Structures are given as structure tokens and as C-alpha cells.
Structure 1
């Protein structure tokens, strides 16, 4: 956190923020805070208000009502000061593909007032930090999608912002490139940079975010750590994959007394030859799993796999966005 004369000041503070476009309400009074050095994941389906939130916080638009402060400065009344605190990368890399990596970083620096040796030193630091040394003099248009995104994020950090907005930074990237960008974003935490990350990849938020704010239809439907949100779905479950479909009825009898979440009759099997799967609540964690193993072993039931699974962020997302 930051402080002014001993008073706590959040890196980002949003209070009853509203944004309307005519009769359409993109945001309906959202509130949340982000601490210094924290990565906040802002999640929600298309049209939930994620990008609108970023445009308001980065002073690109003005809110209809409510307020937002960045490091204590109001995004409307003190917009110029807010811009000194922040940097932003959109959904697509804002690079000149005809220029080299160093030339693009130099453009970012010059646009923000850096010149001469200070700029050259900063470019050297970023090239090393983001593993760009080998492509310093390579035209950006020849780089992979993941590498271009790393150059884009490096450009956003030329001026050492206190707050970085990343609006769906891995959209369209392959899994390997996405993982590389994840490592880059995770490293920003060590720099003490506050990151607001919008994403539709639930795995991305689960891996990177310290806390999550979930939006749906312009409202906050949930907020907390990934672990806290997963607990809202319920207890962990025990998944049992059987060898023989003929054993299904017998296993259902053996598991009587446990809450059945999913059975082969739910249509989850991939076809008549697929191994049947049953899922039961595991309120006691591994103790429940051990009990299931004992029952099946005593009855001589063969299994392909059995294990404990925690609720996923995908399940939280689907449950909360379908019921609002």
C-alpha cells in the first residue's frame, strides 16, 4: 500500500463506479480496491464491463458517476497526475512491426520524455529483464506472438509505472507463448508494480492473481482470492473412473450415503466404449477418498483412476455468471 501522512492509500480504489452509453449501462456501480504490488484479476464474460473499467481507470473515458482513484489521485479531477502513475497495454500489441525491438522501446521512451543515456540504460534493463537481448535488433514483425507481447509489456514499463493495466494480454497466443507471458507478468510482482489484469482465461487468473473481482452485466458478483471463490462452489469431490460399465450399478450401491454429483447416466461419457465416471462430494477430503477406496477394494471393483479434485475457477465462473 501507499500512504500519505500515515493514511492508507490503495493503489486503485473504485467506489460506486457507473458508466452508461445512452440507455445501456456498461457498469452499474462497481466498487473494489487493489493494494500496491498486488495482481488483481478482473474476470467476466463478454460484455460484463471489464474493458470499460480499464478505460475509465486509465482516463481514456469519464465515468457517468461514482469515483476512482489511482495512488490517491482522482481519475477525473486529477487525470494528468493519474497518467504519471499508470501504463496500459491493450488486447493487441501496440508495436510498429517495421521497427526493431530496441527501436520500438525507444519510441515508447521518447513519447514519455526519456532521452539519451537514461533511455539507453532503461532499454538495456528491460531487454535483460524480459529476455529480449537476442532479438534486440530484430524487426518486431518477424517475432512470435508471445515475443511481441513481451516487447509490448516491456514498452509499457519504460517509465517504471506504479500501476499497469493489462487488458487480455494473452488473447490469441498459443499455450507456450501464453505461459511465457504469464512468467513475465508474475515477475512484475517482484518489482512492486500493481497489476490489474483482465482476462477470459480462468487458468490465467488462477495462476497469476492474488485476488479476483468477477463482473457480470456491469456488476461485481464475487470478489476474493481464487481459493475463497472456489469454496463458494462447495466441497472438493472424489472422482472415480471405472474399468467396466457393468460395475456402475454396484458402485452406486457401495457409495450410498455420499452425495452423488455426477454419474454415467448424466451423459458425460464420450461414447459406449468410454470408461464410466462417477463423482461424489468429498466433504472430508482425502478421508472421503480413502473410504471410497476401501469400499471398492473390498467389493473387488477395478478402477482406472480415483482421486480428489478441488473446485475449479471455471466452475465458480459458470455458477456465478449463470445465476445473475
Structure 2
């Protein structure tokens, strides 16, 4: 078992901070994880980032590496590990989230959700920490109802190309539920719908990053199917608000350990999204249509009434407003990569 000693000199300061909490973020160098780390650091928490950098990026946390209340450990959560000292909160944000990335190594993807989930749950039990599982709207599969509420059991193919991710997340939900019921671990489960914003990987493979990168590099936007399938897009700041609210809400207004949808219920067709991206980037490229991948959902829209009732949460940032800083981030990120490529050549 690996031992991550967060009290070695130079890692975490001992100064007072807002909540008196030490927070582990598994997958803390990923898109949501790195934004979460920056948010919690800014609010005074200590953050321990654990990431194997398989899909997380060190540049996402570059601005935090020298911060006295931040520690980074290169570690894969499917391997057991221990932490010295108290831990108050654990966010499990580990696992590739885009189909091209989680399909590279489906066995590892499944293990990350299930074995990694077990390791983090056991750590939470040992430390008496509250732990949040980042589940996904993909547990609903290709739904035959819309919007999708937490009571909908889903329509998932257990042996399809997406099943390593979908079923891994469903299995993790079961683990979190049973550890709460049987062992008393303080758990939270967030079913995250499509999220976007700065710090996304330009090679992420999901639709918003694909469209923006293609627009800026002069490529036709790639639409799979006829473009009539829908998605609902939540800006990262809203998602962080929802995740933190779920983590910090006490179990007094309902069964808070049951899954909670987090996402923006504004529903757009992929064709509508393509038009908006072309307009906001000011680019003039075409659209290329390709066959719809197997098991690709036709509709995706969250019912967030439970989040509103239990957390008092609802997203505030509409798609066009959130795309502004997202597009600027990608513009600068592509320029940075061009400069690096010139230096190498």
C-alpha cells in the first residue's frame, strides 16, 4: 500500500483556514477536479490532489503547485493508499469522462470506478470523512423518458462500447449506497450531466471541446447522426456550486445520500450547438455528418427538482454566457500549444 505523507515539509501549511478542513480530490488534475481544487483553495481549504495524469493534466494545476495549502500526488486510485493525519472531505472525481478516452482501456476505466471507489470509501471510513462520488448522467443510458429524474432506472447496454464507463459508475453508486447503509460512511452521489468550461482538454473528445477546436483550426464541425439528438450543458462554476452544496448539505431535508442530478436543464440539439459555436467563434467552416456511434443517447436533459429541494441549487449561467470564457480559454490554449510546438521544432 502506498503511503502519501502530506505533512512532509513544504506540502501543507499549518495556518488557520476557513473551515478547518483537509480535502482530498481524486482526479484533481482533471477538468472538474482542477477547478474544484482552485475553488476550495481560494476559500481557505487545504487540498490534496491525487491523480495518475492518465487524462488529468499537470498544466491544470500548475498555478496551485507552489501554494502552501496544496499537495499533488501522482497515484492511481485503483492501488490502495493511505494518508497520514485527518481528512474531512473526499471528492471522487477520478475516471475518464469522454468516450474516446475511457474506451482506450475499458478494463482500467471499470476498475477506476469500482476498485478505486472501494479504496476511497475505505479511506473515508478510516478517517471519518464525508465522501462524494461523481457519478454521471450516463447511468441513464439511451433514455426512453425525458427529462431524466433520479427515480428513472435507465436503459443501459451492459456489453456495449460505453458500458465500461456507464456500468462502472452504476456499480460505484451501489458501493457508495451499501457503505452508507452497512458501515455508516457519510456518502453523497452526484449524477453529473454535460459540463464545460475553462481547463477542458482540447483533445477531450466531447462535443463542446471538439466544436471549438475544430472551428479555430479550420476544420468542419463533426456531427454524429442527424444532429437532432439533444444535450444539456452546465457551466463549470454552476457545477462546482452544486457539488459543494451537495457535499455540505446536512441530512435533514431528505435522504441526501441518494443520487442527486446536477446539470443545466436547458436542452439543445447538437445542430443548434454547432450554430452557436460558429457564431461566437466568428469562424466560417462547414459541418461534416457521420454515423451515430453505438448506444449514443438520443436525449439528455436533467430533472433537477431534487437538487432544488434538497440543496437550494439551480444553475445560473446560460449556454451562450458560459461559452464566452470557454471559447477564450481554448483560443489561448491553442496558441500556447502552437508556441510549444515551434520551440520543439
Q: Which structure ranks higher in relative contact order (CA pairs < 8 Å, sequence separation ≥ 6)?
A: 1
Common fold by TM > 0.5: no
TM-score (norm 1): 0.28
Which entry has the higher C-alpha Rg, 1 or 2? 1
